[in-house]
Amino acid sequence: MDRFGGIDIVVNNASALAVDGTETLPMKRFDLMTAIQLRGTYLLTGKALPHLRKGANPHILSLSPPLNLSPAWLGAHPAYTMAKYGMTLLTMGWAAEYAADGVAANSLWPQTYIATDAVKNILGGDAALSRSRSPEIVADAAVAILERPASECTGNTFLDVEVLRDAGVTDLSPYGGTGELEYDIFVDRP
């Protein structure tokens, strides 16, 4: 606040990933995921809200998935699913709670794997990276959302490719991925 004079956006991006099943997930990893995804999202946003309400075009953007209640996702890794869906539920709650104040709250999720260390180290190594898009696709989609008027764009769960298509981007090849891309967790294949 002292340095920049206000807060116009909050991006909840911090996350811990553990896709173990219920019987094999160590409680320490469960606690870490809920502390980062749920508590961290709640704490950061809660502390920023008094300042966001004074912002010119205030947005909360959480990197969390659409709520896909398919048993395939609910049963695959319940603890991680709960932590990520919890971020989305918090965000949708803030969209309703702060609509009258003009604070937008939306979630954004990648359609495909994103070339990150988590994908490489947990979801399949270099082979998974070759089926991933670059992080810039999510960054560009985030910017496109944050540029929208807060009063007109709130309460949504977006996929990155949908946001970019709405912004007129038709060629996604600059974002990489060779061959067939891997759909991300919680995203059903068409």
Q: Annotated active-site positions, please?
A: 80
Cα 26 from Cα 31, distance rounded (Å): 9
Residue 89 gets which letter from DSSP?
A: H
Buried b / exposed e along 103-141 (16+ C-beta atoms within 10 A): bbbbbbbbbbbbbbeebbeebeeeebbbbbbeeebbebb
For CA atoms 46, 49, 51, 52, give the dihedral sign.
positive
